[in-house]
A and B are shown apart, each in its own frame.
Chain A
Amino acid sequence: MSETDPDGDPETETTDGPDSADDSSAMIRPKWREDLLLIAKIVLATYVGFFVVGILSGAGINSTVGTLQSITFWAALFALGALALNLHWGYTGMFNIGVAGFMAIGAYTMSIAIASPDGSPAGFGLPIPVGIILGMIAAGIAGLVLVIPTLRVRADYFAIVTLGFSEIVRLSVQSRSLRRIGDTEYGTGGGQGIRATPVDSVIPWLFDQPVIGDVGNVFLEIGAAIGIASSVLMRGMYTGVLILFVIAFYILLTRIAYSPFGRVLKAIRDDELAAKSLGKRTDRAKIVAFAVGCALMGLVGTLWMGSRTHISPDSFMPLITFYVFVALIVGGSGSNTGSVIGGFAFAAFIFEGPRFVRTIVRENLGTDFPRTAYGAFAELGGGDPTAMIGYVLYQQADEVRYILLGVVLIVIMIKRPDGLLGHRKEISAGVDLTRRGAVADGGRPAVGGDTDAAAADDRQSNTGDDNDSQMETNDPDTTTAENGGKDHE
């Protein structure tokens, strides 16, 4: 937990810089806050929906809350993955379909770093935070190594390179020859993977802390009183840690988005030669963006595997990459808010939805269903539709997920190709670009300082008639209203 504090702390939102930044952040942030509200609304609506359905259908409070907790867990993970991928694909236009590979590098590096020295394969027994940081660094370096030789490669070939890379990583850690590296005790454990202390152990640590621990205990007691297993709540605590990371990612990536750096990235996506011809160092920007995105993916890998005691190569199939892509596409690539919403929607309705339905079916119709399609059809022929329902929704719940995945993707592509939020104006600039205020001396807006207001008169002719009316917009509320109205068209 200690390592999450500086990042996850909401205070970072306001440390924008005490002077001028405060003023202007009020100008560009309104959308930001609306977006947070939007995320909150969608999450809340989904929770209520699942909760009501869960209770009414007799799934019971424990398994309903359990579903909600695992939705949130996966939502946080997919949101993290989608945010990191958004930096590559949504912003820079780098078609990285090797997300799982970078997650694997992060997770494996962490596991080797933190696993017990007596284990098989042995680890270095380092503290968990160190392991997480090493995992991030390793994934970032891998990104650097991959991106530098491929800078000139076109987007589709870049995709093939990254996909190949992620498979190379997975097959390498799986190979027997890396099970033990050389004669050392260290290695990847091959197909068996590595056993390591889970990052989960932050939860017991959290419970040892004075205030947090007390609050946690209160929750546990409430949970016990209304019939929620403590294991669900403990997992919920870990999910809470993930949510802090989502907030940190979101702040980081929103800052990148609202900056000249983000602008250069968008320019690279739209037309790299045009950006170069305007004097932008596009190669450097691409390298930095790719390495940072890969480091974040590595971090996601450590956090994901942190909830398990055991990591193995099978977890890092390319399918994970495609899940993250679907989450990003559902939410709308190029938008950080969209990434979060996409991650949540994907986790709730595509990833966990079928499992939830499975629970409901079990509670209502039992578990006595035919195991084969033949059996299901036979009973359907015999006039018993429940067998078919049970076969599809209970026995084949995981396969239903893939069907759903395909259907949702097709519908999204046809109906909302820009994602659930539609085409969004997330303007990449450190300030609100809408013109307001008299132009002061030297082209600085009056907002910057009152002393400039006098000098502004000289330039009246330059800014036109609307000067006077615009002077008032120093008031943040007015601006909020204006922007809100405009941006949501």
Chain B
Amino acid sequence: MSDVETDVTEVASEDSENDTETASHAVDSPILAVENLEKRFGGIVAVDGASFSVERGSITGLIGPNGAGKSTTFNCITGVHTPNEGRVVFDGDEITGQQPHQIANRGLVRTFQIARELPEMTVLENMMLAPKNQIGESLWRSVLPHFRGEMVEQEEQLREQAWEMLEFFEIDHLAEEYAENLSGGQRKLLELARALQTEPEMLMLDEPMAGVNPTLEHKLLEHIHELREQGYTFLIVEHDMDVIMNNCERVIVMHQGAVLDEGTPAEIKDNEQVIEAYLGGEI
């Protein structure tokens, strides 16, 4: 894993043996702040003035009944939709209305509810796609003889990085498989691994446990905790209450497009409104 951290600077390749002292900038300000977010689709107000923030280095859960606007909020934050109102601030900079690729390049990367692996590419190709600042992504640099050497050099680095990441997630045996041949759970793992390849600061996971068997779910959670130790921040949408309550430090509850409550899992459990709106019969 250490490589993933050090390669950001590309210079520091020497000290990659040292462990995961990412010490992700111990700033107190929230890494992500959403203010009065509003998104309308025709007459439907999907998100209606949602405001919340995510603390740096935390695992934060985002819950709410179906139709509460969780996915739309995700889409507004990551640039898939442009919000009608409100602001999204990531790491001190406003990112409202930016393109998905701009936001991803700032270090805020998401996964999807239904895994969006690239089916006709191998797992390794999927992994190789993700890293930022690839010089070979320019046509000329990948074609012209002079630049191609540089590109090949970078590719060798990225290949090692990709293999290590696959080993970390224990899917390296599938490396040369087409992504479409993976099981649902493996696709989720691949998507998370691929997102990490971009060296993000924060990951937004949309229902990472959906369709994942208990063993794999356990493994996935282990990975998430391990990554959190390394300084990543997580915002997770999930319907499985046990997962949210047992793994998140903070939980945000959305209902009808707005934030209903925010707090520790214990606090959330005690909130009458929340129980009424969502937990109802479930717990």
Q: Mark A residues whose CB is within 8 Å of B.
A: 12, 15-17, 19-21, 24-25, 252, 255-256, 259-264, 266-267, 269-271, 273-282, 285, 288-289, 292, 334, 425, 427-431, 433-435, 439, 441-445, 447-448, 458-459, 462, 464, 486
CA distance A264 to B110 in the complex (A): 18
Interface set, chain B 117-169, CB cutoff 8 A to A = 117-122, 124-125, 128-130, 132, 134-139, 141-143, 145-146, 148-149, 151-157, 159-164, 167
Q: From known contacts A427-B122, A430-B136, A442-B3, infer whether A259 and B151 are also in contact, taking CB-CB under 8 Å.
A: yes
Q: B100 an interface residue at 8 Å Cβ cutoff?
A: yes
The closest CB in chain B to the CB of A23 belongs to B152
B101, A260: Cβ atoms under 8 Å?
no
Chain A residues within an 8 Å CB radius of B128: 260, 263, 429, 433
Chain A residues within an 8 Å CB radius of B102: 279
Identify the interface centre among A20, A267, A431, A443: most chain B CB within 10 Å of its CB: A443
CA distance A24 to B134 in the complex (A): 18
B155, A279: Cβ atoms under 8 Å?
no
Given contacts A278-B130, A443-B13, 12 further A-B contacts (CB under 8 A): A21-B149, A256-B143, A259-B151, A260-B134, A260-B142, A261-B139, A276-B101, A279-B105, A433-B125, A433-B162, A442-B6, A445-B160
CA distance A276 to B130 in the complex (A): 10
Q: When the two chains form the complex, which single residue of B80, B101, B154 contacts A282, counting CB atoms closer than 8 Å? A: B101
B137, A280: Cβ atoms under 8 Å?
yes
How many Å from the CB of B158 to the closest CB on chain A?
8
B interface SS class? helix
Chain B residues within an 8 Å CB radius of A429: 124-125, 128, 155, 159
B120, A269: Cβ atoms under 8 Å?
yes
CA distance A57 to B157 in the complex (A): 60
Identify the interface centre among B6, B122, B135: most chain A CB within 10 Å of its CB: B122
CA distance A281 to B105 in the complex (A): 10
B129, A263: Cβ atoms under 8 Å?
yes
A277, B137: Cβ atoms under 8 Å?
no
How many Å from the CB of B162 to the closest CB on chain A?
8
How many Å from the CB of B147 to the closest CB on chain A?
9
Q: When the two chains form the complex, which single residue of A256, A280, A433 contacts B159, counting CB atoms closer than 8 Å? A: A433
Q: When the two chains form the complex, which single residue of B13, B152, B162 contacts A24, counting CB atoms closer than 8 Å? A: B152
CA distance A417 to B37 in the complex (A): 47
A277, B155: Cβ atoms under 8 Å?
no
CA distance A481 to B109 in the complex (A): 40
Chain A residues within an 8 Å CB radius of B156: 20, 24, 431, 444-445, 447-448
10 closest cross-chain pairs (CB), A and B: A442-B13, A17-B149, A259-B142, A279-B104, A260-B136, A430-B155, A274-B116, A270-B118, A443-B160, A276-B100
B120, A430: Cβ atoms under 8 Å?
no
The closest CB in chain B to the CB of A276 belongs to B100
Q: B195 an interface residue at 8 Å Cβ cutoff?
A: yes
Chain A residues within an 8 Å CB radius of B135: 260
Q: B17 an interface residue at 8 Å Cβ cutoff?
A: yes
Q: B14 an interface residue at 8 Å Cβ cutoff?
A: yes
Count residues of B near A (Cβ-Cβ below 8 Å): 65
Chain A residues within an 8 Å CB radius of B7: 442-443
CA distance A269 to B105 in the complex (A): 21
CA distance A263 to B104 in the complex (A): 18
CA distance A263 to B139 in the complex (A): 11
B119, A270: Cβ atoms under 8 Å?
yes
Chain A residues within an 8 Å CB radius of B125: 263, 266, 427-429, 433
How many Å from the CB of B206 to the closest CB on chain A?
11
CA distance A271 to B212 in the complex (A): 22
B157, A443: Cβ atoms under 8 Å?
yes
Identify the interface centre among B99, B129, B132, B197: most chain A CB within 10 Å of its CB: B129
How many Å from the CB of B10 to the closest CB on chain A?
9
A273, B136: Cβ atoms under 8 Å?
no
Tell me the total A-B contact number using a CB cutoff of 8 A.
195
Q: When the two chains form the complex, which single residue of B124, B129, B163 contacts A264, counting CB atoms closer than 8 Å? A: B129
Chain A residues within an 8 Å CB radius of B16: 441-443
A267, B160: Cβ atoms under 8 Å?
no
How many Å from the CB of B113 to the closest CB on chain A?
12
Chain A residues within an 8 Å CB radius of B197: 278
Q: From known contacts A24-B156, A259-B151, infer whether A444 and B13 are also in contact, taking CB-CB under 8 Å.
A: yes
Can you sample 5 A-B contacts with CB below 8 Å? A255-B142, A259-B143, A261-B138, A273-B80, A431-B156
Chain A residues within an 8 Å CB radius of B58: none
Chain A residues within an 8 Å CB radius of B109: 277-279
Chain A residues within an 8 Å CB radius of B160: 439, 443-445
CA distance A252 to B162 in the complex (A): 27
Q: B73 an interface residue at 8 Å Cβ cutoff?
A: no
Q: B194 an interface residue at 8 Å Cβ cutoff?
A: yes
Q: B226 an interface residue at 8 Å Cβ cutoff?
A: no
How many Å from the CB of A294 to the closest CB on chain B?
14
Chain B residues within an 8 Å CB radius of A288: 139
Chain A residues within an 8 Å CB radius of B146: 17
Q: When the two chains form the complex, which single residue of B118, B152, B175 contacts A430, counting CB atoms closer than 8 Å? A: B152
Identify the interface centre among A24, A259, A271, A289: most chain B CB within 10 Å of its CB: A259
Chain A residues within an 8 Å CB radius of B141: 261
CA distance A445 to B13 in the complex (A): 13
Chain A residues within an 8 Å CB radius of B155: 260, 429-431
The closest CB in chain B to the CB of A271 belongs to B116
CA distance A458 to B14 in the complex (A): 12
Chain B residues within an 8 Å CB radius of A19: 149
CA distance A443 to B3 in the complex (A): 7
A278, B152: Cβ atoms under 8 Å?
no
Chain A residues within an 8 Å CB radius of B124: 427, 429, 433
How many Å from the CB of A484 to the closest CB on chain B?
15
A21, B101: Cβ atoms under 8 Å?
no
Identify the interface centre among A255, A261, A288: most chain B CB within 10 Å of its CB: A261
B148, A255: Cβ atoms under 8 Å?
yes
Chain B residues within an 8 Å CB radius of A285: 137
The closest CB in chain A to the CB of B11 belongs to A442
A266, B121: Cβ atoms under 8 Å?
yes
Q: B112 an interface residue at 8 Å Cβ cutoff?
A: yes
